[in-house]
């Protein structure tokens, strides 16, 4: 009974219904090969949504992830142009992404500036920096080395590397969030910051860690994005931060912090990914997508608010009941 | 963030004059004057009255919304959908225009769409108790999404000549219609916030919504009204912007929400709610307008200006906090 009531189950059901509706008209859409394509296509959203999830768990929000992605992607393309080998590029984009996340995190942690203000500001600064680096020029496919472009598309055991990276990160997050002290700290800080302080958890440091993780994932996704679409310019992934927040909200991550699961987050991203891929198949103009994801956000938060009356995943409260 | 839980009470009260001199508004005034002087030294074209009049277009539309947004933020909520409301209102006006509607109908539709969007936000936040950040991120996608559904990659053009008055007309010499609307809005919102019961209630809600409720303030109704006002001002801004550009694209007013929030925060309104003033917002609007206009005269590209706006947003909040950390 409680499984039926869990929002992961409802979301899973919604995804199945969505697939069934599309499949009733276009059976080809649910072929395993096409579903694998949809998953690969949704990988960047999954990666960023997982990073955003830990940030939201700690009562913050990171609106700069898409700009971080674009900046790291541009740096990756520039380094490739300078002949830097791929492993070094991967290392640098993850480190740079983490550093950009750390800037957000430090401003939130040390100065106590609300995260929405910090990341609204850094969002424009990161994007502007790309312009300063390139003067607005594009880096196109023919300017990128083959190894650089081939890595995310290389097929291993039937799936491209990009999809495997998403799978690996999901696995790491499942362990990180559920089985490590840091993961519990994310929930504790968001669930009840005052109680978290009394249990010896530094609220600011935990928020800082969440921003660094989100930044590192955005950096990695930046390379994957640029390599997969084989183009880098100022506006790549413009407005993607809204999709990322939407995926989290649809996945049941409470914006007030402290509540949400990795499975929900991944399903929220998949839900949006399936809609995005199904629209052209069903013959609806892609211009509908923005309004649909907006409506999905609104329905999801209305739904969250209703289900929040039942206790969410607030571990400190649960610990109180147990003792 | 965690160590300062209570409100600090100063040991000694300072005189009103020294408080006024040290206030955020005084600082803004000095900054505005400095930028004005720097600009007039940097470019010989700056001090031309017609140039200055043109420069006001940089901020009048955003500042109109910023007044309503200031009240909303003081009450502890935020509206990130203002740019999208402009897009939707402009699209509705464009649809009516292609159907042959005259200027009065267009204006009524612009205002009506703004009010309807504000009411929708207000209903979700005030009535259903949903967090305003996510609600307005959602409606931001929804409102602009509807514009995209209607327009796709096309545009509405060919507004009637009389409609151009709002964004291109002059009331007297170099005083534009938009500047007059801006000034009227400043006065109305200044009186509303600083001289009426309604304004006191807005502060009370922002400082402590629970206490406000126990003292008999209808918190939900006031929050709903504030969203309605923000929608209305976005509608007015949509009329001005559409009239000035003479066309509607679904990407119209993209990123406005960032600049509006920046003006409000730069104006000394606490993003956490509870404090701020309309004169501060007016000065902040001038500072933003002068900065972007001055940089524009120096041929600085728009995206570099947005870096400066972003850095300004963080710096104005970070510097006072850094200062108090250093002094401690």
**Residues in chain B closer than 8 A to A203 (CB atoms):** 1-2
Cβ(B252)–Cβ(B86) below 8 Å: yes
Give the DSSP H or E segment for B257.
helix B256-266
Token duo for residue A82: 């300078």
Minimum CA–CA partner of A308 in chain B: B130
Nearest to B130 among A117, A193, A301 (CB): A301
Q: What is the DSSP letter of B176?
A: E
Contacts of B69 (CB under 8 A, 6+ apart): B78, B79, B82, B230, B260, B261, B264
ipTM over 0.85: no
Spans in chain B with pLDDT lower than 50: 1-3
Put simply, the chain B residues between 230 and 259 with a CB less than 8 A from any chain A CB are 250, 258
Alpha-carbon separation of residue B274 from A51, B75, B206, B268 (angstroms): 32, 6, 4, 11
Give the DSSP H or E segment for B163.
none
Contacts of A160 (CB under 8 A, 6+ apart): A40, A152, A153, A154
Token duo for residue B274: 């509870």
Query: Domain limits of chain A?
Result: 32-322
Alpha-carbon separation of residue B326 from A111, B24, B270, B278, B323 (angstroms): 12, 19, 21, 29, 5
B321 with A111: Cβ contact below 8 A: yes
CA pseudo-torsion sign A281, A283, A289, A292: negative
pLDDT above 80 for A61: yes
Confidence tier at A80 by pLDDT (50, 70, 90): very high
CA separation for the pair B181, A105 (Å, rounded): 40
pLDDT for A171 equals 97
Average pLDDT over residues A119-132: 91
The pTM of the full predicted model, rounded to 2 decimals, is: 0.85
**Residues in chain A closer than 8 A to B250 (CB atoms):** 287
CA separation for the pair A269, B132 (Å, rounded): 22
B156 phi/psi in degrees, rounded to 5: -95, 130
CA separation for the pair A296, A291 (Å, rounded): 9
Give the residue with greater pLDDT, B43 vs A182: A182
Cβ(A76)–Cβ(A227) below 8 Å: yes
**Residues in chain A closer than 8 A to B138 (CB atoms):** 246, 249, 294-295, 297-298, 301
Helix (H, G, I), strand (E, B) or coil at A63: coil
Give A17: exposed, middle or buried? Use CB within 10 Å, 0-12, 13-18, 19+: exposed
Confidence tier at A4 by pLDDT (50, 70, 90): low
Average pLDDT over residues A155-179: 94
Domains and CATH numbers, chain B: 44-323 (1.10.3470)
Put simply, the chain B residues between 125 and 144 with a CB less than 8 A from any chain A CB are 128-131, 133-135, 137-144
A120 with B313: Cβ contact below 8 A: yes
- What is the DSSP secondary-structure string of A163-202? HHHHHHHHHHHHHHHHHSHHHHHHHHHHH-HHHHHHTT--
**How many degrees, rounded to 5, is the angle at CA B251 between CA B269 and CA B230?**
35
**Residues in chain B closer than 8 A to A61 (CB atoms):** 133
Token duo for residue B35: 């930028």
Give me chain A's average pLDDT, please: 88
CA separation for the pair B316, B328 (Å, rounded): 19
Instruction: Tell me the shortest Cα–Cα distance from B309 to chain A, in angstroms.
Output: 8
**Residues in chain B closer than 8 A to A211 (CB atoms):** none
Token duo for residue A118: 């910090």
CATH no. of A32-322: 1.10.3470
Nearest to B152 among A109, A111, A287 (CB): A287
Nearest to A298 among B135, B265, B325 (CB): B135
pLDDT tens string A190-208: 999 999 999 999 999 999 9
pLDDT above 60 for A3: no
Token duo for residue B240: 């001005």
Nearest to A234 among B140, B146, B303 (CB): B303
Confidence tier at A320 by pLDDT (50, 70, 90): very low
Give the residue with greater pLDDT, A170 vs B7: A170
A124 with B310: Cβ contact below 8 A: yes
Instruction: Tell me the shortest Cα–Cα distance from A278 to chain B, in angstroms.
Output: 17
Question: Token match 């930046």: residue?
Answer: A222
pLDDT above 80 for A237: yes
Report the range out of A15-29, A65-79, A138-152 with the highest average pLDDT.
A65-79
Average pLDDT over residues A139-164: 90
- What is the DSSP secondary-structure string of B8-70? P--SSPPPHHHHHHHSHHHHHHHHHHHHHHHHHHH-TTTT-HHHHHHHGGGTHHHHHHHHHHH
């Amino acid at each position: 009974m409680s499984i039926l009531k869990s929002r992961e189950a409802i979301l899973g059901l919604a995804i199945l219904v969505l697939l069934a509706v599309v499949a009733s008209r276009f059976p080809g859409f649910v072929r395993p090969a096409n579903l694998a394509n949809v998953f690969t296509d949704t990988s960047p959203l999954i990666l960023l949504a997982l990073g955003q999830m830990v940030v939201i768990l700690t009562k913050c929000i990171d609106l700069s992830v898409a700009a971080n992605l674009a900046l790291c992607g541009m740096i990756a393309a520039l380094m490739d142009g300078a002949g830097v080998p791929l492993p070094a590029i991967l290392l640098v984009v993850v480190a740079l992404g983490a550093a950009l996340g750390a800037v957000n995190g430090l401003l939130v942690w040390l100065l106590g500036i609300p995260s929405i203000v910090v990341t609204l500001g850094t969002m424009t600064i990161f994007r502007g920096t790309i312009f300063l680096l390139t003067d607005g020029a594009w880096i196109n496919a023919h300017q990128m080395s083959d190894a650089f472009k081939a890595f995310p598309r290389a097929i291993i055991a039937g799936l491209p590397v990009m999809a495997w990276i998403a799978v690996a990160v999901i696995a790491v997050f499942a362990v990180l969030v559920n089985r490590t002290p840091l993961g519990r700290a994310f929930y504790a800080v968001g669930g009840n910051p005052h109680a978290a302080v009394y249990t010896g958890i530094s609220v600011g440091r935990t928020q800082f860690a969440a921003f660094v993780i989100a930044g590192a994932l955005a950096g990695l996704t930046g390379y994957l994005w640029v390599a997969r679409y084989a183009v880098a310019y100022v506006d790549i992934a413009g407005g993607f931060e809204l999709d990322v927040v939407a995926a989290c909200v649809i996945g049941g991550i409470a914006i007030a912090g402290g509540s949400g699961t990795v499975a929900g987050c991944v399903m929220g991203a998949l839900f949006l990914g399936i809609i995005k891929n199904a629209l052209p198949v069903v013959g609806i103009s892609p211009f509908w997508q923005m309004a649909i994801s907006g409506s999905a956000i609104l329905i999801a938060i209305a739904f969250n608010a209703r289900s929040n009356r039942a206790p969410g995943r607030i571990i400190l409260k649960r610990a109180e009941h147990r003792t | 963030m965690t160590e300062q839980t209570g409100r600090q009470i100063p040991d000694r009260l300072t005189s009103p004059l020294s408080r006024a001199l040290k206030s955020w508004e005084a600082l803004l005034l000095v900054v505005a004057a400095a930028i004005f002087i720097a600009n007039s030294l940097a470019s010989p074209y700056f001090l031309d009255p017609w140039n200055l009049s043109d420069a006001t277009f940089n901020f009048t539309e955003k500042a109109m919304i910023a007044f309503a947004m200031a009240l909303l933020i003081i009450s502890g909520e935020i509206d990130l959908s203002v740019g999208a409301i402009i897009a939707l209102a402009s699209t509705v006006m464009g649809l009516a225009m292609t159907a042959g509607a005259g200027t009065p109908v267009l204006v009524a539709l612009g205002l009506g769409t703004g009010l309807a969007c504000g009411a929708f936000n207000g209903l979700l936040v005030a009535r259903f108790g949903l967090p305003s950040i996510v609600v307005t991120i959602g409606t931001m996608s929804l409102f602009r999404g509807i514009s995209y559904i209607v327009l796709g990659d096309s545009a509405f053009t060919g507004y009637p000549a009389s409609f151009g008055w709002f964004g291109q007309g002059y009331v007297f010499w170099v005083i534009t219609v938009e500047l007059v609307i801006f000034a009227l809005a400043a006065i109305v919102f200044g009186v509303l916030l600083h001289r009426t019961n309604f304004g006191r209630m807005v502060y009370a809600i922002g400082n402590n919504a629970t206490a406000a409720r126990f003292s008999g303030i209808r918190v939900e109704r006031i929050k709903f009204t504030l969203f309605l006002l923000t929608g209305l001002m976005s509608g007015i801004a949509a009329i001005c912007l559409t009239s000035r550009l003479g066309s509607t694209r679904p990407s119209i007013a993209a990123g406005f929400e960032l600049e509006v929030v920046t003006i409000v925060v730069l104006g000394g309104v606490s993003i956490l709610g509870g404090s701020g003033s309309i004169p501060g917002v007016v000065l902040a609007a001038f500072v933003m307008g002068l900065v972007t206009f001055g940089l524009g005269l120096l041929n600085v590209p728009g995206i570099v200006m947005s870096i400066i706006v972003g850095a300004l947003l963080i710096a104005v909040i970070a510097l006072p906090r850094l200062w108090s950390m250093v002094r401690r």
